[in-house]
Amino acid sequence: MKLKSSRLAMQSVSVPNFKHHVTEHSRLSDRMSRRLTRTYQLYSRTSGKHVQVLGNKRVVANGEDGDIHAKLIVETDTFGSRIRIRGAKTGFYICMNKKGKLVGRRKGRGRDCIFTEIVLENNYTALQNAKYKGWYMAFTRKGRPRKAARTRQHQREAHFMKRLPRGHLLTEPRPFDVVPYQFSKRSKAGHRPGVN
């Protein structure tokens, strides 16, 4: 009798659905954790140039490799694949307005300034807006932003490749790299200045 009841108890316990957990938590902005930031360029498959955030709040894809306005700071928004992108030079975030136009904004807190990175089978990345589902960052051959309502994930206009800026070394410290502590003559062995 005990054996039957223990079997029934085991059957009633559901297996945790980790995929569902990740999906639910990826929808929410994580304001508590330390944000991971990366620096790279976004190469547009159609224009053959890099995405730029210009000083007049314009977003275009006409930058040459290493161009000062093509250097982007990418911040994680959640532990999923949601990110915020801002120009390193101007500080403006890439956002999408309700008409589907890409614009630069000083503050990038809204969901219209968050993009979900989708890695495609061809190894390019598509960037879908978090607020406007099915709307993607996209550019024409001349590097002008395409109206997001007309974009689809499979279109070349919405395909990007992440590239390190020219002169950016792979050996540069990243935000979470561990830097070994070095003893100086003034500090005692095993004691860090300012740490009791």
Q: Give me the residues paired with residue 59 across strands.
A: 53
Query: What's the pLDDT at 78?
Result: 72
Domains of the chain: 32-163 (2.80.10.50)
Residue 97: both structure tokens together: 């307005």
In sequence order, the 6+-apart residues with CB closer than 8 A to the CB of 135 are 96, 100, 128, 129, 148, 149, 151
Query: What's the pLDDT at 100?
Result: 96
Query: What's the pLDDT at 179?
Result: 42
- Cα 41–43–48 angle (5° rounding)? 140
Q: Give me the residues paired with residue 161 across strands.
A: 43
Query: What's the pLDDT at 1?
Result: 54
Dist CA 162 CA 182 (whole Å): 35
Question: Mean pLDDT in runs of 10 for the chain (196 residues)?
Answer: 54 55 50 73 97 95 96 85 95 96 94 95 96 97 96 96 78 46 48 48
Query: What's the pLDDT at 25?
Result: 47
Q: Write down the residue that tokens 């206009």 correspond to.
A: 157
